[in-house]
Amino acid sequence: MAFIDTPLASVDAYVEFVSARDVPVLRRTVREFEILAARDSTGARHVAAAVLADPLMTMKLLTTLQARRGARQNHDITTVERAIMMMGLTPFFETFSGMSTVEERLAEHPQALVGVLKTIGRARRAAHFARDWAILRHDLDVDEIMVAALLADAVEIMCWTFAPVMTLRVFEMQRANRWLRRSEAQRTVFGATALEIQEALVRAWNLPELLITLMDADQADNPRVRNVRLAADLARHLQTGWDNDALPDDIAEVGKLVHMSLEQLLARLGTPAEELHRFFPPAT
């Protein structure tokens, strides 16, 4: 299996490398599809739930649909259930049968496999946050927000998958220096940041324009974009525990977004009782 073991010359070179290879999915996704395909009662919603549990499969579905887009399709498909309905269940299962898995690809890189599974878990958590907050905001299409949050850090998952040794080096640098920003470590190791690669990749793969916009941190004045970015940030910072120094600022920003008091928001997030004091000023 081909891996990236040394820095490539440019962002475009990373995009070209990944685009030339089949993106694997989680082993559980392959198994769930086999079970769902055999059931007469399976509907698009059941399949969508399986797809949305796997950011790699979500990306694979949306990009496949865009690549097959016909001249009569005059609008983007931006949610998973609609994408499945557009394809039809039988063509869907035929298209996505016999897929390679992340577990197979990283069989000889167990640390990277742990890293990618943790990152996928974080993406799911971000999607959960984003959906909950979009509901609170009465967003017009909650599922679009959920998909954008699920894919917000998709290239980090790709880095673990296609460049496991280099990605592990990034995390080792951060462990050695807790003040080192991930983007700085990525630039040192890869010569580019995951965000730079992702911005180029979603364009190259023709991801729906709306989802590209929702994943664009430079448009943070848009409350839908802020919803996605805050969900991704909170999930990332919570990965190290409730004592992460960035959490008070994250939660303050979320409170502004959803117009909820600090007490209500902390309760909704399930903040451990022993950590609540970190979010309130000391009594005078």
Task: Report which residue type is found at 19.
Answer: S
Contacts of 33 (CB under 8 A, 6+ apart): 47, 50, 93, 96, 97
pTM of the model: 0.92
Contacts of 190 (CB under 8 A, 6+ apart): 7, 8, 14, 159, 163, 166, 170, 197
Cα 10 to Cα 190: distance, rounded to the nearest angstrom:
9
User: Which secondary-structure segment (H or E) carries 205?
Assistant: none
> Given pLDDT bands bounded at 50, 70 and 90, which one contains residue 208?
confident
Helix (H, G, I), strand (E, B) or coil at 25: strand
Task: Report which residue type is found at 71.
Answer: A
Task: Report which residue type is found at 143.
Answer: D
Least confident interval from 138-147, 158-167, 215-224, 268-277:
215-224
pLDDT of residue 283: 61
With the C-alpha atoms ordered 57, 59, 64, 69, is the resulting torsion angle positive or negative?
positive
Evaluate if residue 76 carries a pLDDT over 80: no
Least confident interval from 61-70, 127-136, 137-146, 177-186:
61-70
What's the token pair of residue 68?
Answer: 């097959």
Cα 264 to Cα 269: distance, rounded to the nearest angstrom:
9
Cα 283 to Cα 77: distance, rounded to the nearest angstrom:
51
Helices (H), the chain: 11-19, 27-38, 44-52, 55-67, 80-87, 89-95, 102-105, 110-136, 142-151, 154-162, 164-176, 182-190, 194-204, 209-214, 223-238, 247-258, 262-268
Cα 101 to Cα 26: distance, rounded to the nearest angstrom:
5
Cα 168 to Cα 174: distance, rounded to the nearest angstrom:
10
pLDDT digits (tens, 9 = 90+) for 128-145: 999 999 999 999 999 999
| Full set of structural domains in the chain with CATH | 23-102 (no CATH), 104-270 (1.10.3210.10)
Cα 245 to Cα 250: distance, rounded to the nearest angstrom:
10
- By C-alpha distance, which of 16, 62, 21 is closest to 161? 21
Q: What percent of the chain has pLDDT over 70?
A: 97
Helix (H, G, I), strand (E, B) or coil at 190: helix
